[in-house]
Structure 1
């Protein structure tokens, strides 16, 4: 898969750090299998000592912080450790769901092999706050604010509320097809309909943190083309 040049992903850069808008299907770090291109490798080609400060799932797009030196990496890591970094995600979920500061507090256990489960006895604390932003006939655009940073946290917390992310088949989410929302949609003979998004509909929209001891900043990552197209089609045919 072809990805944009690293410099074209940059939302902000100073001598110590970079904030990028990570494309979907690009791993944050090396996978166990190695081999395929990832964001860390691209970042190191751009800045020798680059380190990724947090991870996004391979299919998740959006704002991600990269430190250019060990001191900045430690400075930002401490903010994550003390829950001082504010992250905002947008997700499109199946069904109409009314969330008004819904606080989901369900511990998550890492089962290994990229599998997690809700486990009240053995899981690590995990908290997310959800707010519905926009209602459609068959879907809802939701703002997700994770307080902790567990693997698959937003995905499994939404699934626990029967509010699965569209296209997230691992957690029971169904993909969105144009034929489901557009009246009179006709597929050509011998054509197979593909989902509007070829991944689950989750985007890291904004990140807010201190870039140095005195300066807090917020960075917003524009929707990538596939997410923007989904919203546009829902606005047009499912509003």
Structure 2
């Protein structure tokens, strides 16, 4: 898979930080299998001392903060550790759901090998707020604001509400097909491909304190696949 030039991913840059819009299917860091290109490697080619301050799942697109020096890395890492970074994600989920600042506070246990589960006895505290932004006939655009940063937190918390993220087969999400939403859509003999070839989750914005003490909010535009799915829903699934 061809990834864009790192420079083209940059939303903001100063002497300490680079804010990037990570494309889907690009790992944040080195994966256990190794070999594959990832955001950290691209960042280090651009700036030798670059460090990724947090990570997103490989399929998740959106905003990532990259530090250009150890001081900046510590400054951002401490804000994540103390839950001072305000993160906003957008997800398209299966079904119509009315969430008005719904708090899901189910503890998450990391069982290893990429598997997580809800466990009240052994899990670590995990809090996410959910708000419905747009309703369609078969889908809902959701805003998620995770307070903690557990692995797969938004995905598994939505699944507990029977609102699995579209295309997230690990947590019960179904792929979105044009034939499901478009009236009179004619299937050809070829097997129909889903509109999005991943789960519909995007890290939309982050608010945090810069090294000079100023609080800033940065926003990452939707990637093409997310924007196309949303446009098709707005046109056909109302």
For the superposition of Structure 1 and Structure 2, which TM-score range results when normalised by the shorter chain? over 0.9
Per the alignment, residue 78 of structure 1 pairs with 78
SS of residue paired to 1:218: strand
What are the equivalent positions in structure 2 for 1:1-239 lying under 5 Å apart?
Answer: 1-188=1-188, 190-239=189-238
What do the CA deviations read for 1:205-226 (whole angstroms, capped 9, x no partner)? 0011111242111111000000
SS of residue paired to 1:212: coil
The root-mean-square deviation of aligned C-alpha atoms, in Å, is 0.6
Which portions of structure 1, spanning 4 or more consecutive aligned residues, are displaced by more than 6 angstroms?
none
SS of residue paired to 2:175: coil
SS of residue paired to 2:210: strand
SS of residue paired to 1:72: helix
Aligned mates of 1:86, 1:37 — CA distance in 2: 29
SS of residue paired to 1:28: coil
Question: How much has 1:174 moved relative to structure 2?
Answer: 0.3
Contiguous gaps of at least 5 residues in structure 1: none
Aligned mates of 1:193, 1:211 — CA distance in 2: 47
Question: How much has 1:192 moved relative to structure 2?
Answer: 1.2
What do the CA deviations read for 1:108-164 (whole angstroms, capped 9, x no partner)? 000000110000011110000000000000000000000000000000000011100
Aligned mates of 1:26, 1:11 — CA distance in 2: 17
SS of residue paired to 1:89: strand
Count of aligned residue pairs for this structure pair: 238
TM-score with structure 1 setting the length: 0.99
